[in-house]
Structure 1
């Protein structure tokens, strides 16, 4: 039995009937040669069953504390049932990409069952071109982007033949679910010790904030972007429970070529592609604000020795997307400067202090506030804290396999939140930059059009780079 950490629990408290807090992946694989129609699902099941011990996420479930007086507990699920979590479905003919994404969007619109371990995995048959898909969703209270990558790689192999995975050092032992009285006694003991720990952390947290304020007062360059400076857009609204999902990719080599030409980072160019696509999309709809859009970018603060730990170690930086600048290279330069300032602000606060804020979370208050905010659609009544969530997670540059099937495409799928109806998550795989757009169904009704603007925005940057060279040679 283990008490959930505050930052992990915060993703539970933010969840409402319309604001689901799970993330996921969509893998598109080439079916192994000679595989029978139903044989691949059985192969995936055997592989998953043999690797359950590689992550605690698979077999532990939540135990809430009565009256929400403390963070929930994790226990090894005494009723664990693999067949509840691993499911076999198909898309209708003709089994094209559009039908697959529509099915995944529906699955992603359903909340996870909190009485079970917080994950589901679907093997999806019926695709054209001898392909099969796997969609996985996991609650964000279990995992962040970096830990998620480690968890996914635990299922994947470097060759068609699955590797031999050593059995666990100790056999898995389910735990008896504690009674409410036992939980309350444990919570009471913790409630005595917790204020003392919180008070010890408070000077560090306040000190970090004071240091950041002094740096701000002493600087001459512009301040980094901050929340609630964002203009209103069509996708800044209260959420419905329903989602849309679109995927695409651009060449990693092309992204790196732009990066090298201007002396930026890959992340800067990725943000510039997103900014260009959003500008083009909003302009086409007559909705482009005069002010720049503001993005929040999750940033891992995970230490090297905790990479394999399945929990959250994440903070965030706010970055202006410079969508008020028409010229693509000038926009990229502004984004590059904005990320530098944002990183400086993030470094001013120690990683442990960022995590310590969660020690002051009040479970009952936080959960009730989230439900009221959602129920009364408060996000429609005020200026958004930011416009869009953009995550960029590095992935493997080499081919991977699942139960003998080659992984052709690996697309992330994430979560919008109240007031922020669009999430852009990017993950590299082999020589592609894979893009997943997850949006509220009403906020971005033509999500495929927004996805089409992503490669167009990269081409716009490349054309701007080529322009001066042509003039010079003339």
Structure 2
């Protein structure tokens, strides 16, 4: 049976456009397990081999098509072998969280093989206190953060499997790739339907213009946060109690995302002052999902951006900033955008970046822009702890990416009552990332009513 034609979306292609710098556009997560007996990679491979078929995209690779046949398509990989994707490695000496984070950064920044489905799962053994970890890496063309959580729901133990298809027969795998004739015919039908439905894009174009504020985006002062990035990344963590963050957010009329934005801008403002720079406002590129939840059988990227120019200090002296005032101001700024169409900006951003790529200008644009100083993304994870191989996953650490001339990004994930914020920084352009982490923890402590211990 020939496989149905599954094309890369315009948003998927945008991530391929990004993937032209020294660091691949890949994302990941670190699953930290409870202490116990060592986990065995063979057992993990066996479990994943049973569960991966419930997520068809994990056994597919993206293939280019002949000229005139439309966008690239996802096809079954006839050479798929779980041992190529599930591997193991020992935690580097001397062990501990720092060694684990350095290893995770190295894995996420190592390009995945282009001739296989773009994902990997690396079991890390030899961690302190007998707490093994699993580092999962996905190329961003496969899915966004919301989709990645849907994938995880199908791979872990127990009730989360209810979110996956009840049965996924393997008898038809691998299905033959579509013929050139069928690709061309389907592409022609798609172009015709697109022309007929073009008028439906007008409302999204309006919302995209508002979301991006392309006509009146505030300029911010140039600073050392914008410099071309290299191939290496360093990770640092900050944590806080999720209920406390929600309490602080409600008191300011905002959301947990507002607490995060207030904390990261305050921390960056403090870092810049350490560097001898005074910047009172910074613009964050806030990734917004175009859907409330992902589905394992419908993986793709549905994200847009909100550009928010936020204060780094309160209404008082910069040396004694008022975090509550900044939180209220941040909530006011983001509240005005909350009613917009989710992910509408992708309607403008996707074709713009593809044209820049076609003209050979994408890399120049990404390394010379001065609008955005940081990337920020927030994901809502499971409210209860998950388990894999019968072992409780005590913590989920998100790992996002940064590129162009944006030297720092923040990825936040709520999980089992905690909010974990990962700082992803260019190792060479931001050597003081541990100072940034210290400032971020201090900002979160000031903002929440009961800091996590």
Q: Which residue of 2 aligns with 1:295?
A: 284
Q: Which residue of 2 aligns with 1:263?
A: 253
Q: Which residue of 1 aligns with 2:385?
A: 399
Cα deviation for residue 277 of structure 1 reads 1.6
Cα deviation for residue 17 of structure 1 reads 4.2
Residues 2 and 249 (structure 1 numbering): CA distance in 2 closer, same or farther, change over 3 Å? same
Q: Distance in 1 between matches of 2:445 and 2:283?
A: 23
Cα deviation for residue 357 of structure 1 reads 5.3
Q: Which residue of 2 aligns with 1:317?
A: 306
Q: Distance in 2 between matches of 1:192 and 1:257?
A: 53
How many residues are paired up?
439
Cα deviation for residue 379 of structure 1 reads 4.5
Name the SS of the counterpart of 1:460 in structure 2: helix
Q: Distance in 1 between matches of 2:353 and 2:427?
A: 31
Q: Distance in 1 between matches of 2:227 and 2:115?
A: 30
Name the SS of the counterpart of 2:129 in structure 1: coil
Q: Distance in 2 between matches of 1:331 and 1:27?
A: 33
Q: Which residue of 1, 6, 11 maps to 2:10?
A: 6
Q: Distance in 2 between matches of 1:390 and 1:289?
A: 19
Q: Which residue of 1 aligns with 2:95?
A: 95
Residue 76 of structure 1 contacts residue 173 of structure 1 at CA under 8 Å; is this kept in 2? yes
Q: Which residue of 2 aligns with 1:200?
A: 196
Q: Which residue of 2 aligns with 1:414?
A: 400
Asked if 1:235 is matched to 2:221, the reply is no
Cα deviation for residue 169 of structure 1 reads 4.1
Q: Which residue of 1 aligns with 2:122?
A: 122
Calculate the TM-score normalised by the size of structure 2. 0.86
| TM-align CA RMSD | 3.4
Name the SS of the counterpart of 1:302 in structure 2: coil
Q: Distance in 2 between matches of 1:22 and 1:49?
A: 23
Q: By percentage of residues, which structure has more helix?
A: 1
> Which consecutive unaligned segments of at least 5 residues does structure 2 have?
315-320
Specify the structure having the higher radius of gyration (Cα).
1
Name the SS of the counterpart of 1:51 in structure 2: helix
Q: Distance in 1 between matches of 2:248 and 2:288?
A: 23
More deviation, 250-259/334-343: 250-259
Name the SS of the counterpart of 1:154 in structure 2: helix
Q: Which residue of 2 aligns with 1:332?
A: 327
Residue 94 of structure 1 contacts residue 128 of structure 1 at CA under 8 Å; is this kept in 2? no
Q: Distance in 2 between matches of 1:228 and 1:174?
A: 52
Cα deviation for residue 227 of structure 1 reads 5.3
Q: Distance in 2 between matches of 1:227 and 1:240?
A: 28
Name the SS of the counterpart of 1:174 in structure 2: coil
Residues 238 and 189 (structure 1 numbering): CA distance in 2 closer, same or farther, change over 3 Å? farther
Q: Which residue of 1 aligns with 2:410?
A: 424
Q: Distance in 1 between matches of 2:167 and 2:205?
A: 47
Q: Distance in 2 between matches of 1:164 and 1:317?
A: 31
Asked if 1:341 is matched to 2:356, the reply is no
Q: Distance in 2 between matches of 1:52 and 1:143?
A: 15
Name the SS of the counterpart of 1:331 in structure 2: helix
Name the SS of the counterpart of 1:409 in structure 2: strand
> Which consecutive unaligned segments of at least 5 residues does structure 1 have?
217-222, 464-474
| Correspondence list, 1:367-382, <5 A | 367-369=357-359, 372-374=361-363, 379-380=366-367, 382=368
Q: Which residue of 1 aligns with 2:74?
A: 74
Q: Which residue of 1 aligns with 2:55?
A: 55
More deviation, 193-202/82-91: 193-202
Residues 18 and 227 (structure 1 numbering): CA distance in 2 closer, same or farther, change over 3 Å? farther
Q: Deviations over 1:322-357 (max 9, x none)?
A: 11433212111110111012224x33xx76x65655
Q: Which residue of 428, 431, 439 maps to 1:445?
A: 431
Name the SS of the counterpart of 2:332 in structure 1: helix
Cα deviation for residue 23 of structure 1 reads 0.9
